[in-house]
């Protein structure tokens, strides 16, 4: 007696394609291999040669043969129930329903049921250039069934009203990490924090292993959705290397463009240093803090030059009382002022493995093999519950968001130019005559003490915003204007004190 026929296995068995005659896995009952089926389906042209060529390249990618899928061009009228849900720095975000029996699913089947997706409509993208397609290319690199920490992209469509292009993305059921924490923080135990952190770290590790720098990591780009198993949540990273507008001037190189959210950005970026793996690590440190506090970093402070200057001077969020010491140590290393002192993602991954150990189901095994980690997390969880019970706030000004706060990426070039123009270099001969020993024999002891303070604490210079500091050629008079009262007071006290 022969084996009972299994239509699914028969459908996906190696089959000689009726078009290319190569033996490949077939799609449905079409007698076509994946590649030829996609070529046949791609009848609607996007009108953008770069997009068309990229979609065609994905059809022959090795990702397709190891569990991924190819991207596709999808007519806009195959989506319904389109609803605006928010905006990014250079896009509008909509959720939509992908109609039944349209498009191709991850395993190659035609969609048999309606599917929720996100349409990320790119502002002013009618003439989208090759450089701007990097997000699509980067996302596709991770699109296999073995990758779970990076958002999945189905393809591209175009809004017929505006002619703006849109990426068709995986729908995150619980939204971004910030909103998830806002709604669930009291239930967000240290066990869950560890699970989320490990997922985020593994996602960044995958990105860096592909030689990609994200450049815009923040809680709005960390999404929470349902895992296919239904047992636990899935945390995914979105917006890969995509923090620039579609119509960026090709004559203005990307290296000179500074985009992002101030509170998550590494301080060296404000000094025109390039994005790097280390700047991603700094952002991870801020996300770690947000997991512990439930708030965005510097949530109660005005978004603008003053915040940049504070960060440059070393200001970081206050660590919550319940944070385990090992977690705090990793976090502080991540947000170190010097990028060379920050750990690489591989080291962070290794350091936080003990956090992941805690999440195993066998508590007896954990207590026996990883007692220190177990006790540390248990102590942190006990403290967390005590703080909730006593209504002790985890942060200063809990629940308050400064009215001028901003949490989507914007260009910071003009703001940084304004800051740089108002900061006077204290070691310049044009402004500090005490530095030119050829002009004056000796300044007062007070002036020399100021000089020493500036030399010892160079970061304090960045706090002097919108004010002029000048020591005149005779007695050293400090002139003050506008802001920085506490800095002014410190300088005056130093000036007036005896050496």
Q: What are the domain boundaries of the chain? A: 37-171, 177-246+256-425
> Is 3 a residue whose pLDDT tops 50?
no
Q: What is the CA radius of gyration of the chain?
A: 27
> Burial letters for 122-134: b for 16+ Cβ neighbours within 10 Å, e otherwise?
beebeebeeebbe
DSSP annotation of 51 reads: H
Beta bridge partners, 276, equal none
Fold (topology level) of 37-171: Phosphorylase Kinase; domain 1 (3.30.200)
Same CATH topology for 37-171 and 177-246+256-425: the answer is: no
Average pLDDT value for the chain: 74
> Burial letters for 92-113: b for 16+ Cβ neighbours within 10 Å, e otherwise?
bbbbbbbbeeebbeeebeebee
Average pLDDT, integer, range 153-182: 91
The answer to whether the beta carbons of residues 183 and 274 sit under 8 Å apart is: no
> Is 402 a residue whose pLDDT tops 50?
yes
Most confident of 18-27, 38-47, 205-214: 205-214
> Residue 325 — very low, low, confident or very high, per pLDDT cuts 50/70/90?
very high
Instruction: State pTM to two decimals.
Output: 0.74
Tokens of 453: 């303070």
Share of the chain above pLDDT 70, in %: 61
Average pLDDT, integer, range 64-70: 52
- 218-271 tens-digit pLDDT: 999 999 987 665 546 889 999 875 644 444 444 444 446 788 899 999 999 998
Map residue 195 onto helix, strand or coil. Answer: helix
- 70-113 tens-digit pLDDT: 787 888 999 999 999 988 778 899 999 998 665 554 444 455 56
Q: Report how far residue 437's alpha carbon sits from residue 210's, in angstroms, rounded to the nearest whole number.
A: 53
**Residue bearing the bigger pLDDT, 460 or 180:** 180
Nearest to 88 by CA among 411, 412, 410, 408: 408
> Is 205 a residue whose pLDDT tops 90?
yes
Domain at 177-246+256-425, CATH from 1.10.10.10, 1.10.10.60, 1.10.510.10, 1.10.3720.10: 1.10.510.10
Nearest to 317 by CA among 306, 328, 303, 326: 328
């Amino acid at each position: 007696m022969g084996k009972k026929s299994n239509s699914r296995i028969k459908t996906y068995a190696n089959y000689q394609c009726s078009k290319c005659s190569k033996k490949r896995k077939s799609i449905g009952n079409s007698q076509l291999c994946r590649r030829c089926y996609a070529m046949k389906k791609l009848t609607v042209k996007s009108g953008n040669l770069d997009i068309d060529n990229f979609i065609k390249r994905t059809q022959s990618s090795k990702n397709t043969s190891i569990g991924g899928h190819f991207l596709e061009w999808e007519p806009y009228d195959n989506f319904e129930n389109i609803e605006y849900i928010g905006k990014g720095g250079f896009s509008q975000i909509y959720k939509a329903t992908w109609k039944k029996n349209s498009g191709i699913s991850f395993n190659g089947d035609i969609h048999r049921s309606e599917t929720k997706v996100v349409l990320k409509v790119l502002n002013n993208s009618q003439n989208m250039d090759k450089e701007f397609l990097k997000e699509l290319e980067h996302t596709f690199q991770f699109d296999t069934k073995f990758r779970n920490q990076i958002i999945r992209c189905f393809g591209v469509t175009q809004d017929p009203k505006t002619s703006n292009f849109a990426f068709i993305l995986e729908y995150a059921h619980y939204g971004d990490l910030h909103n998830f924490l806002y709604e669930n923080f009291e239930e967000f135990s240290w066990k869950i924090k560890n699970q989320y952190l490990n997922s985020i770290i593994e996602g960044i590790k995958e990105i860096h292993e592909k030689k990609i720098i994200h450049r815009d990591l923040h809680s709005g780009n960390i999404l929470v959705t349902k895992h296919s198993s239904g047992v636990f949540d899935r945390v995914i990273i979105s917006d890969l290397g995509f923090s620039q507008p579609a119509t960026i001037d090709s004559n203005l190189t990307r290296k000179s463009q500074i985009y992002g959210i101030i509170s998550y950005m590494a301080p060296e970026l404000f000094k025109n240093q390039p994005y790097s793996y280390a700047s991603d690590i700094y952002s991870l440190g801020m996300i770690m803090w947000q997991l512990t506090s439930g708030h965005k970093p510097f949530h109660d402070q005005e978004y603008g030059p003053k915040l940049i200057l504070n960060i440059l001077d070393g200001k970081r969020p206050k660590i919550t009382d319940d944070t385990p010491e090992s977690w705090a140590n990793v976090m502080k290393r991540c947000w170190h002022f010097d990028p060379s002192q920050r750990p690489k993602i591989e080291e962070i991954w290794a350091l936080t493995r003990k956090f992941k150990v805690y999440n195993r189901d066998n508590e007896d095994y954990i207590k026996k093999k990883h007692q220190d980690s177990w006790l540390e997390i248990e102590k942190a969880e006990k403290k967390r519950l005590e703080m909730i019970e006593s209504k002790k706030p985890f942060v200063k000004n809990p629940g308050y968001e400064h009215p001028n706060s901003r949490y989507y990426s914007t260009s910071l070039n003009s703001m940084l130019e304004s800051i740089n123009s108002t900061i006077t270099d204290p070691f310049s001969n044009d402004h500090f005559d005490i530095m030119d020993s050829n002009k004056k024999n000796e300044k007062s002891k007070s002036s020399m003490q100021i000089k020493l303070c500036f030399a010892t604490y160079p970061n304090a210079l960045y706090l002097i915003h919108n004010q002029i500091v000048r020591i005149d050629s005779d007695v050293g008079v400090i002139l003050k204007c506008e802001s920085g009262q506490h800095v002014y007071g410190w300088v005056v006290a130093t000036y007036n004190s005896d050496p």
